[in-house]
Amino acid sequence: MSAASQTPTDTAPQGDSGPPPARPARRAHRSLALALLAGAAGAGLALLASGRTWAEGSAVLAQGALPRTVTGADVTGVPGALAVVGLAALVAVFAVRRVGRIAVAALLALSGVGIAVAAVLGNSDTSALREKAATAVGLTGTDVHHVTHTGWPWVAAAGGLLLLVAGLLALVYGRHWPAMSGKYERTPGGGRGPRRAPAPPDLDRPEEIWKSLDRGEDPTR
């Protein structure tokens, strides 16, 4: 039997093995979860560190040494304030779209940068400690000795870096993230969208017929 008389076998194309996996959707979901976790943890760490002791020292008096301590809020109020801003920006990311989402994501990232920079600079700042010592002693220009710094400024800096990560994720993947429901958004003309058609009147109830006639509707339609 010749090769031309043989029945050709059905061969399926090898290139199409079904629809490709939804990798962009999975990547968007992962980035969203990571941004939420990093943003919430970063803001929480910055707020927690702002209320903890950052530095300790002693003011020398004739009667002895007077120990003094300062918290992060005493040294600088920037980490606590920017943590609140970053947390608000993290929530606002889902309330805006397009250019607004990019702007809010940039604000989130900048909040993280500001927290980290302020925490690093505050780690070596002793001005707040000297002010507390001068207030306790009653003499301006009182110096403090045996100054020690705790690790809480670095905790605040880590929180700032986490907020920065959340902001960068929002900048890169935010366009794929879902937004809040638009059922309460106004239409371009200023209304609240098409209104639901009224239910047809019950012809067995005379008051319903009169109400429909008052509205100028034909109840028999």
User: Quick one: what percent of the chain has pLDDT higher than 70?
Assistant: 64
Print burial letters for 167-196: b (CB count within 10 Å at least 16), e (below 16): bbbbbebbeebeeeeeeeeeeeeeeeeeee
Q: For residue 205, name the pLDDT band (cuts at 50, 70, 90).
A: low
As beta bridge partners, residue 66 has: 59
- Give the tens place of pLDDT for each residue, 128-150: 887 877 776 666 656 777 788 89
Cβ(174)–Cβ(105) below 8 Å: yes
Q: Which two tokens stand for residue 197?
A: 């058609």
Segment 174-198 shows an average pLDDT of: 58
Residue for token digits 């003094």?
Answer: 68
Q: Is the pLDDT of residue 177 over 70?
A: yes
The whole-chain average pLDDT of the chain stands at 77
SS3 35: helix
Q: Which conformational region is residue 34 in: left (phi greater than 0), alpha (psi within -120 to 50 degrees), or beta?
A: alpha
- Judged by average pLDDT, the poorest of 107-111, 116-120, 152-156, 172-176 is 172-176
pLDDT at site 184: 41
